[in-house]
Amino acid sequence: MKIGIITHHAVVNFGAYWQACSLLKTVQALYPDSEVYIINFIQPKHLFINNVGWFLFYKNRNNVRHWNNVFRLPFTLYAERKKHMPLTKMCFTAEQINKLGLDTIIVGSDEVWNYNDSKSVSPVKFGEGLTCKNLISYAPSAGNSSIENLPDFAKKGIKRYNSISVRDYTTENLVFQVTGKHPQIVLDPTLLANWEVNVDSPVKKKDYILFYYCEHLPVHIKTQIFDYAHKNGLAVYGAGDSDKDYDECTVNLTPEEWVRQHFVHFLMTHKGYPQALMANEVQVQLNGTKKRCDTVLYRRDLTARMIVEYKAPEVEITQKVFDQITRYNMVLKVDYLIVSNVIRHYCCRMDYEQNSYTFLQDIPDYASL
**pLDDT tens per residue, range 27-73:** 998 899 999 999 999 887 766 666 555 555 555 555 555 556 566 67
Q: Which of 147, 165, 191 is the last residue of a domain?
A: 191
Residues 243 and 260 in one domain: no
* Residue 165 domain flag: yes
Contact between 105 and 27 (Cβ < 8 Å): no
pLDDT at 67: 58
Residues 138, 90 share a domain: yes
The whole domain housing 301 covers: 255-368
C-alpha distances (whole Å) from 307 to each of 76, 304, 312, 323 are 26, 8, 17, 13
Q: Are residues 230 and 96 in the same domain?
A: no
200 domain-assigned = no
From 141, 163, 191, the end of a domain falls on 191
The verdict on 178 and 233 lying in the same domain is: no
Pair 215, 172 in one domain: no
Q: What is the CA radius of gyration of the chain?
A: 24
- Both 62 and 164 in one domain: the answer is yes
Residue 304 phi, psi dihedral angles, 5° rounding? -70, 140
pLDDT at res. 48: 65
Tell me, yes or no, whether 18 and 73 share the same domain. Answer: yes
50 and 121 fall within a common domain: yes
| 341 in a structural domain | yes
| pLDDT value of position 191 | 82
Q: Assess if residue 47 is contained within a domain.
A: yes
Indicate whether 282 belongs to any domain.
Answer: yes
Domain boundary among 199, 222, 249: 249
Note whether 234 and 265 are same-domain residues. no
List the CATH number of the domain containing 63. 3.40.50
Same domain, 245 and 261: no
- Full-model pTM: 0.57
* Assigned domain for 198 exists: no
pLDDT at 249: 47
Query: Could you tell me the CATH number of the domain that includes residue 337?
Result: 3.90.1570.30
Q: Which residues, in sequence order, are CB contacts of 364 under 8 Å at separation 6+? A: 271, 336, 347
Please count the structural domains in the chain.
Answer: 3
Is residue 176 domain-shared with residue 295, that is, in the same domain? no
**Amino acid identity, position 281:** E
Question: 134 and 269 share a domain?
Answer: no
CA dist., res. 125 & res. 3, Å (int): 15
Residues of the chain with pLDDT under 70: 46-72, 118, 193-205, 212-219, 238-255
